Amino acid sequence: MENPISNTRRSVDRRSFMRGGLLAGGAATIGAGLLSNATLARAQDSREDGHLDAGDIAILRFLAAAELIEADLWIQYSELGGIGDNPPIEIDPNEQLNPYQAALSNLDSDGPQYITSNTLDEVSHATFLNAYLESKGAEPVNFDEFRILQGSQATGAQDIGRLTNLMHLNVDTSWFVRYRSATNPDFGATFPQAIKINNRTAIPITDADFNNANHIQVIANTAAFHFGYIEQGGSSLYAAMNQKAKHPEVVRITLGIGGDEVAHFLEWVDFAGNGVQAPVAPVTDSGLTFPDFFANPPLKPASLVQPSLIFPVPCEFISPDLPHVSIIRPLTDRFGGAVATIASFTADGLFFGQSKKFLAVLNTLAVEADAAHR
């Protein structure tokens, strides 16, 4: 992506909180809470020379692979929905947003800025992880040979090969229910879909997609739920990998970048919720309806899909005999590990049209990462 940097009271209050609370002091607090002095001391004693063992390298290489995938899909979102140099498509010369940007802005007036910022973060994660691997004498991850997929042909999209496909998505929306539930997938809990989104595009495919207001809004709403799906996956993945990391620097990396993934997720929880309440919802196009979850909740109790519940509800953790606590979940390899992440991405439709070799390489990286242990 070339030069990727360039409305409500609630959203302003949220941004103030993020800047003043979570982002300013959260990382240090999380780090102090998760890492015991004994664990750090043992890791430091055995790795004073800065050497990374095979397990830590496997963790970092898989995370670099995951970030390259995330960067690829977010660049596609940013080209069409971000704040970059996208030319307006509207006939009205006074209109500054193309219809996709406008539909995203209906969910939050700062939506295009958030998309661009999320994109820059993911690009920085991939670039840093590969550079760190090289600094330790390890092989970085390069997926350039697999950039073979055709992306959007709408005005604003680059005519370049892609790793991921955003035009045939089966978006897993169960995360929306899971984080409003007091149960935990690591204890065997399962969750229904908040909305069934099957084989739908989350970006305009051609300029024809700009011509109908309901059509482009449903595309934007699909993207909103996909944003949350992607970032909740990253939150669990980094937390799962952190439990395996040995070297103190690798622990710092998984905590530091993982914390940024959590920050992304919290924004997109709120963003997706705005697509299933008035004034945006209800909205329908070609058999897919985003209802107003306040007026017509698709699940009971209604709290399981309440749009204004944007923070994780306390759930069971460690032992069912302990008090419920608000956490990232899942945290285990079975649901949040590397192999589980690739299986979920594949089911999502992200790799629709990709080569078998690409999937084999990804699976190998994932198996090696999950095999790492502290």
Token pair listed for 23: 């982002």
pLDDT in tens, the chain (374 residues): 444 333 333 333 444 333 333 333 333 333 333 333 433 344 444 445 578 999 999 999 999 999 999 999 999 999 999 996 544 444 344 457 999 999 999 999 999 999 999 999 999 999 999 999 999 999 999 999 999 999 999 999 999 999 999 999 999 999 999 999 999 999 999 999 999 999 999 999 999 999 999 999 999 999 999 999 999 999 999 999 999 999 999 999 999 999 999 999 999 999 999 999 999 999 999 999 999 999 999 999 999 999 999 999 999 999 999 999 999 999 999 999 999 999 999 999 999 999 999 999 999 999 999 999 99
Task: Assign 3-class secondary structure to the chain.
Answer: CCCCCCCCHHHHHHHHHHHHHHHHHHHHHHHHHHCCHHHHHHHHHHCCCCCCCHHHHHHHHHHHHHHHHHHHHHHHHHHHHCCCCCCCCCCCCCCCCCHHHHHHHHHCCCHHHHHHHHHHHHHHHHHHHHHHHHHCCCCCCCCHHHCCEECCCCCCCCCCEECCCCCCEEECCHHHHHCCCCCCHHHCCCCCCCCCEEEECCCCCCHHHHCCHHHHHHHHHHHHHHHHHHHHHHHHHHHHHHCCCCCHHHHHHHHHHHHHHHHHHHHHHHHHHHCCCCCCCCEEECCEEECCCCCCCCCCCHHHHCCCCCCCCCECECECCCCCECCCCCCCHHHHCHHHHHHHHHHHCCCCCCCHHHHHHHHHHHHHHHHCCC
